[in-house]
Structure 1
C-alpha cells in the first residue's frame, strides 16, 4: 500500500512485550534476543532473566552480571536460563581461557651443571637440558649453595630444583636432604618417587605425624640420607629433641602455607627451629657448613617481599605449559553429581593427541561427599581422602596413573600437588571443610588440569549453587565466591599471629632453643609479641625461666593451643574418660 502511494518505508521488527505495555521498541540484529520463539528487546530479556533468577533463588550481583553478559552475547534467553539447570554447552559455560605461555629462557644443558659425578650421570641419562625454571635456578646460584625461593606454575618442574641441590650436596658429603610437604598424601607419593628414582644412590625414609611407624609398617630412620616428611612430622622430631644428623638441604614445598590461619604459624616456627638446629650443629661439628634452603610455590602474591624475609634469592617464572579453559555453570547440590557424571563420561571418551584418555579430579568439601559422588559416576572412579589407609591410597594412585579410573573424587588431599595426570578438574563446591577456598588454594587446585606430554589443554568446571553456603560461619554465597576467585588477584603470603599462636610458637622455640627463643621469634616471617607470649607461658606454668615445665613439654609435644591444654587438664582432674575429653574438644572445634 505504501509503495502504491510512493511512500518510502523500512520494515522494522519491534518487541511485542514492549508493545503490550504501550511502548515502541525497534529491534536490530545486534539488540534482538530470542525468547519463546520470538524476538524481544534487551530490557525485556533482562526482566525475564531476573524473573527466572527469582524462581531459582537469590543470586549475587556478580552472577547476574555474568548471566547478562552471556544473554547479550548469545542473544538467546533459553540458552542462558539453561545454565541455571546445569546446562553444559561448552560455548555457553566457557568463562575464559588461560593461554599457554612460555617465557624466553635460554635452557641450561645438563652436561654443563658440574654436579657430583654420580648425580651428574643420573641426570644426563634422564635429560639433555633443564626446563626454564630449573635453568633460572641454576643461573641464580643453585649449585653454588645459595638459598632460593622458586615461584612457578604447577607442572613447570619446580620440584627438580630441590632435588638437584639436595642430591648434589648429599653425594658431595655436605649433609642429607630434607624434603618437607604439608600433606601426608603428598609425602607418601614423594617418598615412593624418591625410592624409585634415587634409592640406588641413597637411603630414603619418611616422617609423618609423631609416630615412629608409618601406616604401611615401615619405621622412620633419622639416619637416612633422604627424609621426606610433613611439616608437623619434622617439627615433632625437633620439639622432642630427635637427632636428625647433618642436614645439607631443606626443601619446603608449598611454602605459601605460611598464610594459612591454622598452619601458617607452625610452618613459620618450623623453619626458624630447623635453621637453629642446623646452626647449632654447625658450631658443634667441624666440616659441616649448614643447610641450603629451597622454598617452592606456585601461588605467591608478594614473592619479592617473602623471599626477602626468608633471605633467599627469588626465582620467578611465569609459564602455563598447556592452555586451560575455565567454565562456570549453575546447579544445586542434588543436581551436581549428574552434571559431574556427564563431564567425566565426555572427557574419558576422548583421547589427546598424545594418546591419553581424559581423566578428571573432582574436588569437594567432605569425605562423605567424596563417597557419595564416586558412587554415582557411571565410569570407574574412586574416592581419595585422608580416611583411606596407605595401601588404599596407593591403589587409587596406581589405578589412576594406569588410566584404569576415569575420575578420582577428593578433598584437599590432592590439592597441594599429588601428581596425577588429569586434564579436567571439577569443583563440586568452592569450600574446603567449612571455609571458602582462598585464591591461592583455588589456583593450586585448578592447576591440576592439563599436563605437558599428556594433554593438549586443561579444562576446569566450577559448579555453582546459587545462594549456597556450607556453614553458618561462612560469609558470602557460592556464586559470589566463584566470581571472586575467577577474577581474584593472588593474595600476599603473610603469617598472622593471635595470642594462642604466639604462645604456641614461643613455647616450641623455648623447648628447642632455650635462651635463644627470642632470636628464633625475631627471625620468623610473622611478627610475634615475644614479651607478652613469655608472660602468658609463665602464667600458664608452661615454662620455668626459659625452660619448659613438664606440662609445657607435654603441650608442645602434642601441638596444643592453651585452651585445649587446659580443657584436657580439667578433664583429667575431674576423672573424665579420655573419650569424653576428646569429644569435648571436637565439639568445641565444631562450634568454632
Structure 2
C-alpha cells in the first residue's frame, strides 16, 4: 500500500468531514462528482474540475454543493479530503480516459483509488451505491441498485393507477428475483412471460391406495355389469369409500379434489339401493344448470337399467327443459331449493334410499347456507318419519360431497357421517398471476386461448379454456372478441343451447367457453386451462373455497398432462361500491389463503326463517330439527318472533306463514311485500320497492 502524507485538518471542509470512510468520484458532464461517506451517510458533496500542469493533472476548481447552490473552495481542500479518506472509489460509469486521469492526479499525492461497479442513478444524484452481480438490476442499458429500481417501478405503477401494497410487494419481490426492471414493467403492459407470471405450482399427488376391483363389488347384477364394463377398478377415493361402508348404507362425507371421482361414490350407493328396492336416489346440487346436466347424464346412463330419472328444480311442475317432474321416479335430480320446496309444501317424495348432496360446502354461504342446513334436517325428518310408518323401508343413507372443506373432521362429526378424505391432485396445476389494465384483458384472453388450443397433450387432446367472469353480458362480450371458436355459457341461455355448448366443448369443437363464476363452478367442462377475467361472483368477491374449486377445473388426468390457471387482475379495481377490498388484494388473499371452515351462522332472520320451515314440516318436533342443524338457533326466541308476527298459531303455520315459507321469504321481505300490498301498490311496484331497498341495504 502506498504511503500517505500526514493528515492535516487546516480548513472547514476537512474539519467537517474528518475520518471519512469512503471518498467517491463519478464524472457527470465535464466535472467529477465528489461524495464523502461516513457511517453510511453522505457528509459532503461537491464537484471537482481538473487542470493540466507540468506535473500532470491536478485539482483545478473545487466547489461544495448544497442543493442547487455551489460554494467555491480551495483545490487544496480536495487534496486534504482525499488524504483523510480510508478508501477512494471511482464509479465504473466514468469513462476509461477520465478514470485514468483521476488515478494519475491522485497518484501525484501518493493516493490510490479502485474502480467499482455502482448504480448510475445514485452516482448521478451524488450517492455512493456499490452493486454486485447479486444486487444489480438491469434498467435498459444500465445496471442500478435495488432502491433505485424499486423507485422506478413505483413511478411506473403510479402511471397505471396504483396498486395496493400486496400487489406492489409481489412485483417488488419479482423485481429482486429476476433483476430486470423492463421485464417487470412489461407485465403491466400485458406481457405473458411465464417465468414472471407463475405464482406457484400445485404438484400432482397420488396417494398409495390399493384399488378395489369392480368385479369384487357387492352390487345389483345390472349395475355390476355396467360398472365392470366401464372400469376394471375403482379410483382411490371410490375405493376408500367402499372399504369404509359405502355399500353397507353408512352416511359419508367425501372430501376430494375436482376430477377425482366423487360423483360415482354417490351413484354406486344410490343406484344400487334403488335397483334392490331400498328406496330411490335423490341427487341434489346447488344450481339449475348442474341439475340439468346430471339429469341428462343419469338418463343416458341408467335408463337402460330400467330406472326412471326425473328432475326437480323449483316450484313449477314443468321445468325449463320441458320435462315434467315425476315424484315416483327411481332417480330424482334436484336443486336444494327444489326439494326443499317439496318438503315445505308437504309433497310426497316416496321412499328415499339415498340422498347425495353435492357441493355441501354451500353450507357456509351467508344467503344459502342456512337453507341447505335446514333442508338437510327436514329431509332427514321426512325419511325418519316415513321409516316408522312403512314396513320394509329403513330410511335413507346420506352422502355429502365436496372438493373444498377447511374443517372436514368437525363437519363429518356434526353430520354424523364417516369422513372419506383424499388429497389427490391427478395432474399438476400452474397458477399464474398478472396485473393488467381492464382494457387489455380481452386481448390477453385471446392470446391465452389461442396458445392453449394450438397445443396438444401427450394424450392427443387440444388445450381448451374456461374463462370465468362476473356477468352474463361480459360472457358475450369476451366470446365475441376471441378469434378461435368459443361460446358464452350462463343460466340466461335456454337448456338446449347450454347442452349444445357442452357437446361442442366435449367434442373439442370449441377452444373456449366464457361463463359466469356462479354457474360453471360445478359444470363438467374438461378444460386444460382456466382464466379468471374477474375474481368476483356478481358483486361479491370469490371465497377461497370457490376459487379453489374453480381453478380445479384445469387439467383432467384422462386428457391433459397439466392444468394451467391465469388470474388477470386489474389493479385497484372493484365491481361494486360494497366491496371493501380491491381485486389485486383479493388475488393475493386467494392465492395465499387457507381453506375456510364450513360452518353455518345464523342471524335472527335466518333462525326465524328456518324455524318457520321446520314448524311447517314437523310441527311440535321443530325444536328437534333445529337442534341437529349445524348452526345454533335459539328456538324459544325464534318461536316468540313467529308468534309476534302471526306467522304461526301454536305450532301450526298461519296462512301468512305458509305463504312466507313456501316462497322462501325472509321476514324482512315478507313485511316489505305486506306493506306494499296494504299501500295499494301493484306487484311490479312492490318488486321495484324491494330491489331499491336491497340496493340501499
> TM-score, normalized by length of structure 1?
0.98
TM-superposed CA distance for 1:60, in Å, is 1.7
Write the distance in 1 (CA, Å) between the matches of 2:468 and 2:284.
24
Write the distance in 2 (CA, Å) between the matches of 1:86 and 1:101.
32
The residue number in structure 1 matching 2:215 is 111
Give the match's secondary structure for 2:248.
coil
When structure 1 is superposed on structure 2, of 355-364 and 294-303 the one drifting more is 355-364
TM-superposed CA distance for 1:131, in Å, is 0.3
Q: Which runs of 4+ in 1 moved over 4 A?
A: 5-11
Superposed CA deviations along residues 145-203 of structure 1, whole A, max 9, x for unmatched, are 11000000000000000011101111111100000000111111111110111111210
1:26 aligned onto 2:130 = yes
TM-superposed CA distance for 1:30, in Å, is 1.2
TM-superposed CA distance for 1:134, in Å, is 0.4
RMSD: 1.6
1:80 aligned onto 2:184 = yes
1:169 aligned onto 2:169 = no
Q: Do the aligned partners of residues 8 and 129 (structure 1) sit closer, same or farther apart at CA in structure 2, a change above 3 Å counting?
A: farther
Superposed CA deviations along residues 109-167 of structure 1, whole A, max 9, x for unmatched, are 11111112221111111111110000110111111111000000000000000011101
1:339 aligned onto 2:432 = no
1:194 aligned onto 2:298 = yes
1:134 aligned onto 2:234 = no
1:57 aligned onto 2:161 = yes
Write the distance in 2 (CA, Å) between the matches of 1:171 and 1:428.
45
> TM-score, normalized by length of structure 2?
0.83
Contact 1:33 1:41 in 2 (8 A): yes
Contact 1:186 1:413 in 2 (8 A): no
Give the match's secondary structure for 1:506.
helix
When structure 1 is superposed on structure 2, of 309-318 and 99-108 the one drifting more is 99-108
Q: Structure 1: which 5+ residue stretches go unaligned?
A: none
Given candidates 146, 168, 171, the residue that maps to 2:250 is 146
The residue number in structure 1 matching 2:400 is 295
Contact 2:517 2:536 in 1 (8 A): no
Contact 2:518 2:537 in 1 (8 A): no
When structure 1 is superposed on structure 2, of 118-127 and 441-450 the one drifting more is 118-127
Given candidates 67, 83, 97, the residue that maps to 2:171 is 67
Larger RCO: Structure 1 or Structure 2 (Cα < 8 Å, ≥ 6 residues apart)?
A: 1
Give the match's secondary structure for 2:247.
coil
Write the distance in 1 (CA, Å) between the matches of 2:346 and 2:644.
25
The residue number in structure 2 matching 1:425 is 530
Contact 1:222 1:244 in 2 (8 A): yes
Given candidates 176, 195, 200, the residue that maps to 1:96 is 200
Contact 1:100 1:321 in 2 (8 A): yes
Write the distance in 2 (CA, Å) between the matches of 1:203 and 1:224.
5
TM-superposed CA distance for 1:402, in Å, is 1.2
TM-superposed CA distance for 1:393, in Å, is 1.0
Write the distance in 2 (CA, Å) between the matches of 1:587 and 1:111.
60
Superposed CA deviations along residues 483-504 of structure 1, whole A, max 9, x for unmatched, are 0000000000010110111111
Write the distance in 2 (CA, Å) between the matches of 1:133 and 1:309.
22
**How many residue pairs end up in the alignment?**
592
Superposed CA deviations along residues 215-239 of structure 1, whole A, max 9, x for unmatched, are 1211000000000000000000000
The residue number in structure 1 matching 2:260 is 156
Give the match's secondary structure for 1:54.
helix
Write the distance in 2 (CA, Å) between the matches of 1:87 and 1:10.
41
When structure 1 is superposed on structure 2, of 102-111 and 83-92 the one drifting more is 83-92
The residue number in structure 2 matching 1:240 is 345
The residue number in structure 1 matching 2:683 is 578
TM-superposed CA distance for 1:10, in Å, is 6.3
Superposed CA deviations along residues 4-32 of structure 1, whole A, max 9, x for unmatched, are x9999865321111101222222221111
1:560 aligned onto 2:683 = no
TM-superposed CA distance for 1:322, in Å, is 0.6
Superposed CA deviations along residues 412-470 of structure 1, whole A, max 9, x for unmatched, are 35443211011111111111111111000100111111111111111100011111111
The residue number in structure 2 matching 1:307 is 412
TM-superposed CA distance for 1:72, in Å, is 1.2
The residue number in structure 1 matching 2:612 is 507
Contact 1:182 1:230 in 2 (8 A): yes
Write the distance in 1 (CA, Å) between the matches of 2:548 and 2:401.
15
Write the distance in 2 (CA, Å) between the matches of 1:111 and 1:253.
27
Given candidates 429, 437, 443, the residue that maps to 2:542 is 437
Give the match's secondary structure for 1:27.
coil
Q: Do the aligned partners of residues 10 and 105 (structure 1) sit closer, same or farther apart at CA in structure 2, a change above 3 Å counting?
A: farther
1:546 aligned onto 2:645 = no
The residue number in structure 2 matching 1:270 is 375
Contact 1:415 1:444 in 2 (8 A): no
The residue number in structure 2 matching 1:465 is 570
Write the distance in 1 (CA, Å) between the matches of 2:311 and 2:112.
87
Write the distance in 2 (CA, Å) between the matches of 1:76 and 1:524.
56
Q: Structure 2: which 5+ residue stretches go unaligned?
A: 1-99
TM-superposed CA distance for 1:481, in Å, is 0.6
Give the match's secondary structure for 1:14.
coil
TM-superposed CA distance for 1:575, in Å, is 2.4
Contact 2:470 2:538 in 1 (8 A): yes
Give the match's secondary structure for 1:180.
strand
Write the distance in 2 (CA, Å) between the matches of 1:574 and 1:562.
18
Given candidates 287, 298, 310, the residue that maps to 1:183 is 287
